[in-house]
Amino acid sequence: MIKQLLGAMALAVGFSGVANVQAQGRDSVSIVGSSTVYPFATVVAERFGRSTSFKAPKIESTGSGGGLKLFCKGVGAGTPDITNSSRRIKKSEYDDCQSNGVTDVIEVLIGYDGIAIANSRRAPQLAISLKDLYLALAKDIPDADGQLIPNPHQSWNDINPALPATKIEVMGPPPTSGTRDAFAELALGGGAKSIPALKTLSGFDSSQEQEIKSAMEQLGIPVSVYQAYVESKGKKPKGKDIFKTVAYSVREDGAYIEAGENDNLIVQKLEANPNALGIFGFSFLDENGDKVQGSVIDGVEPSFDTIADGDYPVSRPLYFYIKSAHVGRIPGIQEYAMEFASAKAMSEDGYLPEKGLIPLSQEELAQVQADVKSLKRLEM
């Protein structure tokens, strides 16, 4: 009850001047978030501005994490109406929204994307496994005795003799990026599960405290990691919680190079250094196919078909989130969302798949359209 009251007060204060929003220049939809979703949102916004009486939304690429942080700060004309995300909102982010009065959030699934691990077309195409990626880029990996140690690998053939004898140099997005989050979960996490002891750890329930601690001891993970989780979360961890702390951590010794949210910059650097790899969304790979090529991952090459079918192992859904409190107060929010979710935009024959978006199934699209029309509230 107190939380609801505070949310209502925040809404009232945040919109105390909304009658004057247009006079302040806030007469268009404000969108932040994912650099991966950005080009799709931009196309929709441009068409929306041309074909309706509403102004085209203003869109800023801040990364998924950065966008959700801004989105969840509160309500009012000074906060964004929509945030794009190349991953699903985390429970902790959802809780931040609730605490700050953003109590009604609408989730819109827009399609799918693959994460490409690409290199210059001036170099041979790389065939690599998820295990290879984990052993190349994880901060800590098991030694011959199964104990986690700082990653010692300097060259690709240190990991796998079938890989090139070249320095490990991978350019990718920063921690605020949804692409980085998804890469850590799907590529590093997927590769880590090829290590039996790590896979076993990830399967324990929170009630299996002794089994978790025994697995941690086997891997050389300090018990303080378990205790720190309990202190910060106020509950016992599951095995997968401990697994994530070690499997998703990216090395910081120069093998992984943070290149910001500018995928064009990564492509330029790949052209200049054919031995380097870059991480970005498949849609961007598709746009720059004359310059870069995607690596074959676990025997599967990234393509529209392999991502749509779920065969490509580094695939993820894309979303945007709407602040329900702003609908009807800032002009055009729901109308923009309905344009985005329309068959002419998101269907298999729509204009967004032409730009590289992997479309939803007909059933998924129908559900999304119904949720946008009803402004269905997200529950977590």
The reported pTM is 0.78
Who's near 260: CB < 8 A, 6+ residues apart?
Answer: 173, 174
pLDDT score at 17: 44
Which tokens go with 159? 């990991």
Question: Which parts of the chain register pLDDT below 50?
Answer: 1-13, 16-25
Q: Kindly give the pairing relationship between strand 105-120 and strand 315-323.
A: antiparallel
HEC assignment per residue over 7-64: HHHHHHHHCCCHHHCHHHCCCCCEEEECCCCHHHHHHHHHHHHHHCCCCCCEECCCCH
pLDDT score at 309: 85
CA Rg value for the chain? 22
Residue limits of CATH 3.40.190.10 in the chain: 2-113+317-374, 114-315
pLDDT score at 271: 92
pLDDT score at 176: 85
pLDDT score at 15: 52
pLDDT score at 21: 43
pLDDT score at 140: 97
Phi, psi of 240 (to 5 degrees): -65, -25
Picking from 143, 168, 141, the residue whose alpha carbon sits closest to that of residue 154 is 168
pLDDT score at 19: 41
Give the C-alpha separation, 252 to 257, whole Å. Answer: 8
Mind giving me the DSSP string for 251-268?
P-SSSEEE-TT-HHHHHH
CATH topology of domain 2-113+317-374: D-Maltodextrin-Binding Protein; domain 2 (3.40.190)
pLDDT score at 284: 86
Superfamily of domain 114-315: Periplasmic binding protein-like II (3.40.190.10)
